[in-house]
Amino acid sequence: MWQPANPLYLHPNPLFSFTALYLSHTMSTETPTRNRVNFATPRSFGATMKSHLKETFFPDDPFRQFRNEKSGLKKPLQYFIPIFEWLPNYSLRLFKFDLLSGITIASLAIPQGISYAKLANLPPIIGLYSSFVPPLIYAVFGNSKHLAVGTVAACSLLIANTIGEEVSHKDDPTLYLHLVFTATFFTGIFQTLLGLLRLGILVDFLSHPTITGFMGGTATLICLQQLKGIFGLKHFTTKTDVVSVLHAVFQNRDERKKRPNLFWVSAIAPMVVVIVGCLFAYFAHADKHGIQIVGHLSRGLNPLSIKHLNFDSQYIPVTLKAGLITGLIALAEGVAIGRSFAIMKNEQVDGNKEMIAFGLMNIVGSFTSCYLTTGPFSKTAVNFNAGCRTAMSNVVMAICMMLTLLLLAPLFSYTPLVALSAIIMSAMLGLIDYQEIYHLFKVDKFDFLICMAGFLGVAFISMDHGLMMSIGLALVRTLLYAARPATCKLGKVQDSCVYRDTEQYPGSTSVNGVLALQLGSPVYFANSNYIRERILRWIQEEEDISNAKESVVEHVLLDLSGVTSTDTTGIETLIEISKMLQAKSIKLSIVNPRLCVMEKMIRSHFVDKIGKESIFLCIEDAIEASLFSEKRQV
């Protein structure tokens, strides 16, 4: 019984042997057997590098699925061009949803396109062109099911400001227009490159709290803007009209929640509102009574603009600058939005593929009289609420836009702007996620702060500033984590043999003279000062607790199990700590350094300096050895 035949029992279980040693206090001078640490040669630079690059840029191992297939082009094609994946399984049932949402966003695309084009100091028709070609490209290459392609307010303004510095749109509207196309071309190239270089890692830094705050703030902002527009009209029209439109919209929203079968009613409502508004405006000559309408629109599809791209060295700096800045903001907005709606549906968006889709859509757009497009918040929200299922809704929108451009443009001229305001507002109000914000407040105060920075920043400063503030705070949090990794003192948990945080497991006991500390991760330049000072403080605190001479620290064990990475400053800090402890006659032992850390310890000769006998595989071995050496001194 005591020593069964099984070989596993023959091995000296460290827990057992430690306990035996500790309790019996035998004065044996034999070194206890212990688990062997692997001091094998470090991996080659090439191997480490390859592993790091793979984890950084290809963590999803996207090409695994092609590896086993012989000469099959279907899978890679599906991977790179998502339309081949979803189109074969596309059904009439799905199309019903996409048709509805496509028509809905098309009805939004007209007034949005016109007003944003005006913000960018471009002819209104350019805004309509921009909702025809880019959505078709996105439908082929895009990754998100809910994203609706269109122009955005922030970038439109930014383009006007940047290009306007060099060329006035009033003095030379043709040159100005061509420079905008050129900037859009640069945006496309830049976005495609980011995607090809697998810099989708950038998207990982858009956290859920950031997106919640950004969405809530943008919804608030747009609602306030629309309200301003609506109240601006109260002198021209009867108040009842506004209220009735709002009331109708809200009633539809409620109905949708209560009776899902009546979804058609609420989804078609915006279009109905637009048509009713048009008819009303047309027959009542509303424009003559002060009600603002969209205004004259001429017929015809996008003319080619590839020959108008202007690469004159005089204008390259300004077009390049406009292209890069708006490209980045558009990407941040578009990817954040695509991602946020994907999260709602528990789906995933591949940031890299999304960047390539945006890039291609802007390159082709710049060839066909379009300016910068991305996934605007309002349009995507309407698309999502209208029940879109795939990128087909973008195709429907594009076809609607084509028909509008060819035939109906003059009819839509009569749409009253107030009707559009009501539609947008009804979409926005559902997107302020109070519950999520409360959840953040309850679980993690810093996340709440990140969220509110985005919310208030977007609502009261600007969309891009709000987004940047929120991302900035999230990065500060990441850096703070790196600068102040948690350390804890380990003790043996009551009625157990495992060593855990004494704060988390009160009642856990430590061994006299041995201070076991678990370091957080990583040990880096950003926290090396902190870790050194913190370890000194642990020793100091230990000595403060008891004045009895026997409890003074004789051994410090640093458990590096949780330290997955280090750098030269980190290793130097360990060397410094070992020197400092030596000066206090305290022996330092290292427990369970992981692969990356061990490699650097060997390369920097730390292992030689501290001695292989001071590095242990587990905390129990280290404590056993400490006690053993204490006894030898007695």
Site residues (CB under 8 A) for its own copies, limited to 414-443? 439-440, 442-443
In angstroms, what CA-CA distances link 75 with 64, 84, 464, 627? Answer: 11, 9, 38, 61
Site residues (CB under 8 A) for its own copies, limited to 458-517? 474-475, 477-486, 488, 493, 495-498, 500-501, 503-505
Q: Name which of 333 and 447 has its Cβ closer to its own copies.
A: 447
406 near its own copies, rule: CB under 8 A: no
Q: Name which of 19 and 237 has its Cβ closer to its own copies.
A: 19
Site residues (CB under 8 A) for its own copies, limited to 47-86? 49, 52, 55-56, 59-61, 64
- Rounded CA separation 550/512 (Å): 7
3-state secondary structure of 433: coil
Stretch that binds its own copies, among 44-52, 179-187, 253-261, 371-379 (CB under 8 A): 44-52
What is the per-residue binding string for its own copies in 518-547, x denoting contact by CB under 8 A? --xxx-xxxxxxx--xx--x--x-------
- Considering only 285, 445, 609, 632, the residue that binds its own copies (CB under 8 A) is 445
Q: Name which of 15 and 193 has its Cβ closer to its own copies.
A: 15
Q: Name which of 406 and 498 has its Cβ closer to its own copies.
A: 498
What is the per-residue binding string for its own copies in 244-273, x denoting contact by CB under 8 A? ------------------------------
Stretch that binds its own copies, among 135-143, 152-160, 248-256, 562-570 (CB under 8 A): 562-570
In angstroms, what CA-CA distances link 591 with 305, 371, 517, 557, 596? Answer: 66, 59, 10, 7, 14
Stretch that binds its own copies, among 275-283, 376-384, 409-417, 587-595 (CB under 8 A): 587-595
Q: How far is the CB of 380 from its own copies (least distance, A)?
A: 20
Return the bridge partners of 150, or none: 374
Handedness of CA 505, 507, 508, 514 (dihedral sign): positive
In angstroms, what CA-CA distances link 40 with 343, 444, 593, 602, 622? Answer: 44, 43, 13, 9, 20
- Considering only 74, 285, 579, 632, the residue that binds its own copies (CB under 8 A) is 579
Q: How far is the CB of 627 from its own copies (least distance, A)?
A: 15
Give the angle 359-363-365 at the CA atoms, nearest 5°. 110
- Considering only 26, 564, 582, 608, the residue that binds its own copies (CB under 8 A) is 564
Q: How far is the CB of 217 from its own copies (least distance, A)?
A: 18
| Bond preceding residue 522 cis, omega within 30 of 0 | yes
6 near its own copies, rule: CB under 8 A: yes
Q: How far is the CB of 171 from its own copies (least distance, A)?
A: 28
Return the bridge partners of 566, or none: 523
Q: How far is the CB of 474 from its own copies (least distance, A)?
A: 6
Q: How far is the CB of 434 from its own copies (least distance, A)?
A: 15
What is the per-residue binding string for its own copies in 588-607, x denoting contact by CB under 8 A? ----x-xxx-x-x--xx---
Stretch that binds its own copies, among 93-101, 156-164, 198-206, 244-252 (CB under 8 A): 198-206
- Rounded CA separation 289/270 (Å): 23
Q: Which two tokens stand for residue 32?
A: 């206890």
561 near its own copies, rule: CB under 8 A: yes
Residue identified by tokens 């991760």 is 521
- Considering only 276, 446, 513, 631, the residue that binds its own copies (CB under 8 A) is 446
Nearby residues of 47 by Cβ (< 8 Å), 6 or more positions away: none
Q: Name which of 429 and 536 has its Cβ closer to its own copies.
A: 536
Q: Which two tokens stand for residue 123?
A: 């002819």
* Whether the Cβ atoms of residue 587 and residue 611 lie closer than 8 Å to each other: no
Stretch that binds its own copies, among 205-213, 253-261, 314-322, 550-558 (CB under 8 A): 205-213
321 near its own copies, rule: CB under 8 A: no
In angstroms, what CA-CA distances link 627 with 579, 631, 634? Answer: 22, 6, 11
Q: How far is the CB of 606 from its own copies (least distance, A)?
A: 10
Site residues (CB under 8 A) for its own copies, limited to 329-358? 346, 348
Site residues (CB under 8 A) for its own copies, limited to 150-169? none
13 near its own copies, rule: CB under 8 A: yes
Q: Name which of 306 and 486 has its Cβ closer to its own copies.
A: 486
15 near its own copies, rule: CB under 8 A: yes
Strand spans (E) along 512-622 = 514-518, 555-559, 587-591, 615-616
Nearby residues of 293 by Cβ (< 8 Å), 6 or more positions away: 281, 286, 287, 413, 414, 415, 416, 417
Tell me which amino acid residue 102 is: G
3-state secondary structure of 372: coil
Closest CA to 214 of 575, 492, 464: 464
- Rounded CA separation 559/567 (Å): 17
Q: How far is the CB of 154 from its own copies (least distance, A)?
A: 23
- Rounded CA separation 191/206 (Å): 17
- Considering only 17, 78, 562, 629, the residue that binds its own copies (CB under 8 A) is 562
Site residues (CB under 8 A) for its own copies, limited to 607-626? 617-618
Q: How far is the CB of 161 from its own copies (least distance, A)?
A: 21
Q: How far is the CB of 166 from its own copies (least distance, A)?
A: 22
In angstroms, what CA-CA distances link 66 with 77, 81, 589? Answer: 10, 15, 48
- Considering only 78, 512, 569, 614, the residue that binds its own copies (CB under 8 A) is 569
Burial of 271 from C-beta contacts in 10 A (0-12 / 13-18 / 19+): middle
3-state secondary structure of 585: coil
Q: How far is the CB of 515 from its own copies (least distance, A)?
A: 17
* Whether the Cβ atoms of residue 117 and residue 123 lie closer than 8 Å to each other: yes
